[in-house]
Structure 1
Amino acid sequence: MLFRVLGPLEVDSTEGVVVPPGPRARALLTALLLERGAVVPVHRLAEAVWGEEPPARVENAVHVVVGRARRALGPAGARLVTRAPGYQLDLGGARIDADLFEQRCRAARALSGRDPAAAARLLDEALGLWRGPAYGEFGESFARPAAVRLDELRRAAAEDRAEALLRAGVVEDAVAAARDLATAHPMAERPTAVLMRALSAAGRTGDALDAYQRYLRVLRDELGIDPPAELRELHTRILREEVGPTPRQAAMDTTPPGRSQLPRRPSPLIGREDEVRTLSAAVADTALVTLLGPGGVGKTRVALEVAHQCAAASRPVWWVDLVPVQSSRLLEAVAAATGVEIASGRDPLDALCTALAAHRGVLVLDNAEHVLDELAVLVERLRDGAPGLALLVTSRERLALDTEEVQRMAPLPLPTGADPDNPAVRLFLARAPGLALPDEAGLALVAQACRRLDGLPLAIELGGARAGGLGLTVLLDRLGDRLDVLGGGRRTSDRRHRTLRAVVEWSHDLLDPEEAVLFRRLGVFPGSFTLDQVEAVSGGASRGSLPALLARLVEQSLVQSARSGRFQLLETLRAFALERLTAAGEEHALRDAHARDTAARLAATSRRLWSEHEGEAVGDLTALSPDLHAAWEHALAHDRPLALRLAGDVYEFAYFRQRLDLLRWGFPIADWPIDDPELAAALGTAAAALWSAGRMTEAAATAERGITLAGGPDAPAAALPMNVSGDIAMFLGDTDDAIARYHRHAELRRARGQPVLGLVTELSVAHALVNAGRAEEAAAVLAELLPQAVRSAVPTVMAWAHYLAGEAASEADSERAAASYRTAIEHGLRADSRLFVTMARTSAAALAARTGALREALAGFPVALEEWVQLGNRSVAWWLVQHVTVLLERAGAHTDAAVLAGAVLAREDALPGFATDAERLQAALAAVRERLGEHATTAALERGAGLTDAALVARARQALADAAATMS
């Protein structure tokens, strides 16, 4: 049951909508609704019904009105009950539309920072509940206070809606909404501010300035005052063209571009509740927040708490640990964390912005101080190119950007005495498990230690870890010797670094010799590591003692326990360990050992990729990614044979996962003037990266060079470049050549004892046949190979086979094809086989378009498009746009179809040359010409040909969204 008071009183029940007859019954029900289920005395009900002239026998008169109201409500009249000293309306699960309105407004405000499009939809629903003035005919009498309050909330909600539309990129709607508000409330500041920003975002600078002048005149004429400072500042910024056009974003798209697993919270956060609340609010309201403070103050831990809270509220969150990242690989690190693969091209940063432009998650960039200059450039571009993205940076120094909000994080409050509730004291005791619960004198010693440690959480944790073994008195003696540099007052970044170094040096000096050796050698790991990695790389110490030594370092807070049996060093501790490693003359040897161990792990784990344990192997190699990059950089500089091995061995993991950052390892090697047959596999890796970037001619030449260096197409070393050359021949439309190359590659794989890889390549024969329009031949091949693929139990192989089964059946049996695509996606997801998963999603959407299921296609293509953009595979992304073009023609979006066709045709050299797809594109283009005419079609084709990659993706997104809106 719903009681409606946002307009004339109505009661909506299972019996229908009831308007209580007679003003007295309506007044009585309104008075009861104002009290939300409370008992209302008779005399107050009488005042509502009769005002200042109640009848002589008030109780009887009220009773009569109650009876009329009960009868009017029918079965719901039982809710109107007698309760001394008056009456009560028992809501009992019934709702009031005014309450629903306020609930939706609150929910919209909570969403506005991270998803303004969803907030705007909620506000539309909330405002749609209104049918007239609140409390109807009684809004100017006894219900006036409540009515005025609701009217103010209604106006605020309308302003919030205009703001949300603007932030969501729906600029013209924002202009209309803000103009209506500014007209209705000419002296209100916020509607004018939103209107000015919306007009400026729409590129209508003159209109924005006119809106300000109208507001200025009204204020001066009516109140004799000038506009507030914030509005004057906005006016100045518009005059300076600092507030410019904003691209329309896909308001309905809130899917995160990729997956990013947040680090686990290692322990309860102590003493930082206020900082977490402040930072959470800042992230919700501000697009760029930098959490600033000295090393060891706990910036990462607070940011992690905020990130987990955002994730718990269903807001997409991506975490980038910048500690192992060099400035040259900053963009790759951000792309990897957000699931965006950057293709080779003129402006990879623009590609990242394009991929993130439609998303409104939170990107956390942790430990940024060593890459500030490069990060400032990246963040500025993200602010412009992905305005809905919130960025949270932790650093010892700010980025120094105009749009940056800085949140300074101070050390924990220092205790003044034996205060067990002080957060620093609580943290110390929580990190000293071996310390007996201190009495008041002991608490005073703990408080003294916390003061001497300057309230820095890392220093406190290290001190607490040692207190259990040394005792508080000895601990304080050692602090007096070593930490006198921890003075109060303002400190520069250098002083802060020395401050934390003093804590680390003190803790390090307490290690025994074996612990100290292990600690410095752990500095060679760029990210998290496992015990067996430590055993393989560290050397020197007794292998039997390593687990105990590592456990001791964990206990002393010098090593952190990470998830799934992994460990890691904090930022400053890793830097300190590396300094010690260099001073000991061991750095090069340890880096070499680490690179060789990583290469061995890559080779061994890659063999598991072609078994039923593929999913586990993929997880292991994904966790090894920081080590892979570190090993690659060391080998590239110091060990060319090892670099060749890495570039060749990484192919099978990288290609099927579409990890182009790893495939591109082949690029620098391709320029080496050597004739080593080991170079052949690396050239195969490089060729795969080249065709993914749309550089087909270079890719073909690189693969052929690899085959030649290997000793010809029948040489065992030619296996990898031979396979890639078959793919390229297929893309270029040379079907028979591609099939011949696939057969020879399969023979090479079987000869090398790799039957599953041979099966994968034989399946590629069916792919070449389908793309040449020879579906019946492909089906015959698959009839033999699909059962073999199923028996292999390898997820990627099964995904590949079922995808091809769908392709072969797509024209003859669309239902069987759709089922095959679904099966391919299911298997591919088990091993993160993003190549086949995304191909299957693309083909499923294309099939839906061809069979008339246009809504299904319009829902499927945006997902697939986002995935290809994230992966960075330009060639396959443009192949998808071909299919989108066909869909748009069928959906009646002829101009959009022509524009996209022009863009696709302009990129013909970068596209897979599949005959069937080319025929479908030409048929769609012919239908467009017939509908639009030659002149309009040619003009649209020319517009499409001039689109940049980023503009093409944006146009495809918008065209799909517009077509979907038209179909709804």
Structure 2
Amino acid sequence: MDGTGPGDFEVGVVLRVLGSPLLELDGRAQPLPPGRPGRLVAALLVARGRVVTDDRLVDEVWGEDLPADARAALHTNVGRARRALGTAAARLERVAAGYRFDLADVSVDADEFVATLARARGLVAGDPVGALAAYDAALRLWQGPAWAGFADDVAQGEALRLEESLLAAREEHAETLLALGRAQEAADELRPLVSGEPLRDRPALLLIRALHRLGSSADALAVFAAHRAALAEELGLDPSPELEEAQREVLERTPAPTPAVAAPVVVRASALVGREADLEQVRRLLTLHRCVTVLGPGGVGKTSLAREVMASTTPAWWVDLTSVTTEAGVRAQVAAALDVEVFVGGSLEAALEGRLAAASGLLVLDNCEHVLGAAADLVAWATAVGGGIRVLATSRERLGVPVEQVCPLAPLRLPTDDSADPDVPAVALFLDRARAAAPELEVTPDVLGEVNELVRRLDGLPLAIELAASRVGVVPLRTLRDRLDHRLDLLRSHHRRGPARHQTLADTIDWSYDLLDEDQRRALRWLSVFAGPFDLDAAEAVLGPDSAEQVLGLVERSLVVRPARSDDLDYRLLETVRAFARDRLEGAEAEAASLAHARWARDQAALARVGLAGRYAGWWGGQVERLLPELALAVLWAVESGHADEAVEIVPDLYEWGYWRVRADVLGWATMLLESGHPGVATTRVLATATAYWWMADDQVRATALSRQAIEAAGGEDDPSAYLALETAGDVALATGDLDRAYAVYERAAQHALRAERHSDAVQAVAGMLLARTYAEGPTAAELALLREHEGLVVNPSVRAMALYAEAEAVAADEPEQALELFARARAIARETGNRLVVGVSMAAETALRGRVGGLDDTTLSRTIEAVELWLGSGNQNLFITCLRNAVSLLDRLHLFETAVEVVAATTAHTPDRPSYGIEAERMTRAMNRARTVLGTDQVDAVWRRAQGLDLETVARRVVADLAGVRQGGVSAGD
């Protein structure tokens, strides 16, 4: 043990690291000692007064070229360093299992630089001249590369941070010059910056603007071209939008903008962000248990958390097990950390046992997952010998000893979809580390939005976040976000030191992957075909029977995330792990895994089709919503890989769900399938599903053609398998006003369903017959009777809601109050089951009814606004147009004539193949006539011409705004 103690410290000590490191003592500057003593002192200075363990010092000073007796060599070099330090020797102290260099009252030029830079940034918005002077003062502190002579090893991280700050300061200095109108000086400063940092966006952008302002357009464009070429060659990236905009300004000779120099938002910096609760939890558990294992996937921050716990615990010993592979190696590492001395004739085991029995403190075992058995034996031994040792272990898998208490470490909390809070832990960590890489980063709402999405894609894993944040300043945020999905190589550390498995995120995951047996590796690769969470049944469907143990084994190794709650059956892969595993799934194995997934998805869709037709359609609708990413992935893979026969089953099985929930995107999978050209895909059910898609998209010409093909594929209208094709043909005929055709095909569909005693299908078809009769203003008694005869046998809530809606439409003209009650009942049932179509058509029909005969009150206005907003952007263009037309009568009654004309004109322009008909057309004609009477023909014609060029969304928002204005001001217009 080193016995040198601290003496009386001198004052006025200065440490200069912005160049070759110098210690100024008593007014005399001296460099750090040469050779290993100097490396030792540098390592301690970088630690800024913190204790550096013997093992860490040996690693820093010798690297891989370890001496035969590392401990003796370390003590020898400590002595040499003290002799070289002279009067500062007393500051090099022996503390516990390591050394520290006391920096109390020591002035550090790097700190002065950071403080002066902060002052410049604080002045830049209000006093750019003062800011420029402060930038000058900060830059004058630099006498050469930071930590020169040590920047490639012991001081690499600190040197990189300072050099990054220097680059930012030089950029900001040039930008301030540019803002003050000193473009030539700015350009002179920026040229060497751009040359030295060809991948960095900001200096290139500033130089382009400076040259543009000087009139050197050709030079500015050359800078852009060179930067674009460097990005493409080195990173495969395109220039940022800001650079492309600067190029456009040069090309169009737009005056170069004056930079708006504003003070950057200061983001809180912390060594360990967002882990306060976890720290407290581990500390509490250590007071209750002899061994606590922090458990979690690679990159989640187990080591950082353990270091923070150790920093507040005395005495404590750190043991890094990364490089050991045997039980003897584990014991040797622990013995070295505890300063165990083995005397002649003794054994390491006996000496270590004696030390453990006498010691009291915290023993940290970091990275136990690859030596689980040896680590477990060591823990059991250490806690059984009677001493006061408590163990904190980090591992991706539990040790499995009786004294162990597991503390799972989850990824950092992520922002919600609409969060703009920079203090959310995952976001705070990213911003903290990004500002180290790019101090100029401004935390605007747009930046927060990009960061939110980025950290979500990174699962909140601290290592992934830190690696991504380190690329800020080189790669634009949006580009970084968009290229992460299958580019784990983008998450590469710039630091060459540190564990190899932390150099990239892929290395970190690979560390865990290498510890698996081949069956577990296969399981991990195959599970990557899932788009999201999966339960054990789904996993076994893909992996094969009796594979649940493999999944649970991956859970134990923190490669599969366990359910968050005890009642949750779903497991999942972190997105980063999924990308890693997917990259290793290739060739025939990839096809086999994807085919197994597609067949599982096909089976799920078949189950859902049956469930959606029954009493619990609402619950099954939620199941389909949950499984939709898997179903989408399966369909896309099947179409692209030549296994379209799997998608032929999945797509029409989702017809009911897509139809009732107004999901044109899902129904559109049928068009993708048909356009693929694969043989055998044009089945009756696929064609009918594609018909429904074009009906929703309001392309009734295509929908009509497809409906005919669907019926022909079934063998004609008399074939019972034509039911779905007949149903969709009826919908299209209703939309186009061919009411006789609509009635006929609905009637044929009803006949097929009644013969097969499929009551739900029969009632749905009869509801269509009733609507066709109602819209034709014909007698409806027979259809109403048939509907009421069978609807009591229907258990499917969606069909019951549809029947109530159709009945309401039929009685609306003669019994409006009863119709309003039926609309309300239909809407209530539909809402409970997630049936957006019936909710929407009921509201739209109620809008038409209230617009004609309802009171001009808040209820009428609110219901109409609600209906328009529901269909706005719903994906069903056909019923959106119907809803807008239904609002015309109300607009007419409220004397909102211009808006009424806009609605008629725009909906007419957008439906050349589907003109309004029947009662709807009569109402619109009546409203147009009233508008001409009040406004005059010339004004109506002018509004008509203007409105024909408007999109329907703009018109809908005008309707909503006008009705909201009337509601807010009180209804004053009348019939």
TM-score by structure 1 length? 0.51
Q: Select 1:567's aligned residue among 568, 571, 575.
A: 571
| Alpha-carbon distance in structure 2 between the residues aligned to 1:608 and 1:765 | 26
| TM-superposition CA deviations, 1:134-180 (whole Å, max 9, x none) | xxxxxxxxxxxxxxxxxxxxxxxxxxxxxxxxxxxxxxxxxxxxxxx
| Alpha-carbon distance in structure 2 between the residues aligned to 1:629 and 1:578 | 17
Query: Secondary structure, in 3 states, of the residue corresponding to 1:871?
Result: coil
1:610-629 matched pairs, under 5 angstroms? 610-629=613-632
Query: Secondary structure, in 3 states, of the residue corresponding to 1:586?
Result: helix
The alignment's C-alpha RMSD in Å is 4.5
Q: Does 1:706 align with 2:710?
A: yes
Distance 1:407 1:572, change over 3 A: farther
Q: Does 1:762 align with 2:766?
A: yes
Which has the higher Rg, Structure 1 or Structure 2? 2
| Alpha-carbon distance in structure 2 between the residues aligned to 1:599 and 1:883 | 40
Q: Which runs of 5+ in 2 are unaligned?
A: 1-123, 129-234, 246-260, 297-301, 321-361, 369-391, 407-461, 472-489, 494-501
Distance 1:858 1:374, change over 3 A: farther
| Alpha-carbon distance in structure 2 between the residues aligned to 1:372 and 1:618 | 42
CA contact (8 A) 1:678 1:710 kept: no
CA contact (8 A) 2:468 2:491 kept: no
Q: Select 1:826's aligned residue among 807, 825, 828.
A: 828
| Alpha-carbon distance in structure 2 between the residues aligned to 1:617 and 1:795 | 12
Query: Secondary structure, in 3 states, of the residue corresponding to 2:571?
Result: strand
Question: How many Å apart are 1:525 and its aligned residue?
Answer: 0.2
| Alpha-carbon distance in structure 1 between the residues aligned to 2:924 and 2:578 | 56
1:932-943 matched pairs, under 5 angstroms? 932-943=935-946
1:568-967 matched pairs, under 5 angstroms? 568-582=572-586, 585-637=588-640, 638-671=642-675, 676=680, 679-750=683-754, 754-774=758-778, 776-777=779-780, 779-786=781-788, 788-854=790-856, 855-909=858-912, 911=914, 913-967=916-970
Question: How many Å apart are 1:651 and its aligned residue?
Answer: 1.2
User: Which amino acid in structure 2 is aligned with residue 557 of structure 1?
Assistant: S
| Alpha-carbon distance in structure 2 between the residues aligned to 1:489 and 1:451 | 24
Question: How many Å apart are 1:576 and its aligned residue?
Answer: 1.7
Query: Secondary structure, in 3 states, of the residue corresponding to 2:613?
Result: coil
| Alpha-carbon distance in structure 1 between the residues aligned to 2:692 and 2:463 | 58
CA contact (8 A) 1:611 1:794 kept: yes
Question: How many Å apart are 1:375 and its aligned residue?
Answer: 13
Residue 23 of structure 1 corresponds to: none
More displaced stretch, 953-962 vs 616-625: 953-962
Question: How many Å apart are 1:573 and its aligned residue?
Answer: 0.8
CA contact (8 A) 1:726 1:742 kept: yes
Question: How many Å apart are 1:408 and its aligned residue?
Answer: 8.0
Q: Does 1:501 align with 2:523?
A: no
CA contact (8 A) 2:559 2:573 kept: yes
| Alpha-carbon distance in structure 1 between the residues aligned to 2:693 and 2:520 | 44
CA contact (8 A) 2:735 2:878 kept: no
Query: Secondary structure, in 3 states, of the residue corresponding to 1:791?
Result: coil
Question: How many Å apart are 1:500 and its aligned residue?
Answer: 2.2
Residue 105 of structure 1 corresponds to: none
| Alpha-carbon distance in structure 2 between the residues aligned to 1:567 and 1:962 | 50
Query: Secondary structure, in 3 states, of the residue corresponding to 2:504?
Result: helix
More displaced stretch, 881-890 vs 403-412: 403-412
Question: How many Å apart are 1:826 and its aligned residue?
Answer: 1.2
User: Which amino acid in structure 1 is aligned with residue 399 of structure 2?
Assistant: G
CA contact (8 A) 1:707 1:713 kept: yes
User: Which amino acid in structure 1 is aligned with residue 728 of structure 2?
Assistant: V
| TM-superposition CA deviations, 1:553-573 (whole Å, max 9, x none) | 334332222574222110111
| Alpha-carbon distance in structure 2 between the residues aligned to 1:747 and 1:405 | 72
Distance 1:450 1:716, change over 3 A: farther
Q: Report the number of matched residues.
A: 556
Question: How many Å apart are 1:899 and its aligned residue?
Answer: 1.9
| Alpha-carbon distance in structure 1 between the residues aligned to 2:762 and 2:557 | 51
Question: How many Å apart are 1:443 and its aligned residue?
Answer: 7.5
Question: How many Å apart are 1:821 and its aligned residue?
Answer: 0.9
Distance 1:430 1:963, change over 3 A: farther
User: Which amino acid in structure 1 is aligned with residue 589 of structure 2?
Assistant: E
| Alpha-carbon distance in structure 2 between the residues aligned to 1:626 and 1:845 | 35
Distance 1:739 1:442, change over 3 A: farther
Distance 1:404 1:449, change over 3 A: farther
| TM-superposition CA deviations, 1:778-797 (whole Å, max 9, x none) | x5422332353243121101
| TM-superposition CA deviations, 1:26-61 (whole Å, max 9, x none) | xxxxxxxxxxxxxxxxxxxxxxxxxxxxxxxxxxxx
1:466-505 matched pairs, under 5 angstroms? 466=397, 468-469=399-400, 491-492=470-471, 493-496=490-493, 498-505=503-510
| Alpha-carbon distance in structure 1 between the residues aligned to 2:584 and 2:670 | 34
Question: How many Å apart are 1:448 and its aligned residue?
Answer: 9.2
Residue 272 of structure 2 corresponds to: 413
User: Which amino acid in structure 1 is aligned with residue 889 of structure 2?
Assistant: V
Q: Does 1:523 align with 2:528?
A: yes
CA contact (8 A) 2:525 2:581 kept: yes
Distance 1:528 1:488, change over 3 A: closer
Question: How many Å apart are 1:824 and its aligned residue?
Answer: 0.6
Residue 217 of structure 1 corresponds to: none
Question: How many Å apart are 1:710 and its aligned residue?
Answer: 2.6
CA contact (8 A) 1:452 1:486 kept: no
CA contact (8 A) 1:526 1:626 kept: yes
Distance 1:961 1:403, change over 3 A: farther
More displaced stretch, 520-529 vs 637-646: 637-646
Query: Secondary structure, in 3 states, of the residue corresponding to 1:699?
Result: helix
Question: How many Å apart are 1:591 and its aligned residue?
Answer: 0.2
Question: How many Å apart are 1:602 and its aligned residue?
Answer: 0.4
Question: How many Å apart are 1:714 and its aligned residue?
Answer: 2.1
Question: How many Å apart are 1:813 and its aligned residue?
Answer: 1.7
Question: How many Å apart are 1:956 and its aligned residue?
Answer: 2.3
CA contact (8 A) 1:712 1:718 kept: yes
| Alpha-carbon distance in structure 2 between the residues aligned to 1:484 and 1:856 | 55
| Alpha-carbon distance in structure 2 between the residues aligned to 1:571 and 1:918 | 53
Residue 68 of structure 1 corresponds to: none
| Alpha-carbon distance in structure 2 between the residues aligned to 1:909 and 1:486 | 53
User: Which amino acid in structure 2 is aligned with residue 903 of structure 1?
Assistant: A
Query: Secondary structure, in 3 states, of the residue corresponding to 1:691?
Result: helix
Query: Secondary structure, in 3 states, of the residue corresponding to 2:585?
Result: helix
Residue 553 of structure 1 corresponds to: 554
| Alpha-carbon distance in structure 2 between the residues aligned to 1:694 and 1:371 | 41
User: Which amino acid in structure 1 is aligned with residue 272 of structure 2?
Assistant: P
| Alpha-carbon distance in structure 1 between the residues aligned to 2:670 and 2:468 | 52
Question: How many Å apart are 1:902 and its aligned residue?
Answer: 1.5
Question: How many Å apart are 1:949 and its aligned residue?
Answer: 2.9
User: Which amino acid in structure 1 is aligned with residue 927 of structure 2?
Assistant: A
Bigger relative contact order, structure 1 or 2 (CA pairs below 8 A, ≥6 apart) = 1
Q: Which runs of 5+ in 1 are unaligned?
A: 1-225, 231-369, 381-401, 454-460, 476-482
User: Which amino acid in structure 1 is aligned with residue 897 of structure 2?
Assistant: H
Distance 1:840 1:520, change over 3 A: same
Question: How many Å apart are 1:414 and its aligned residue?
Answer: 9.7
Distance 1:488 1:578, change over 3 A: closer
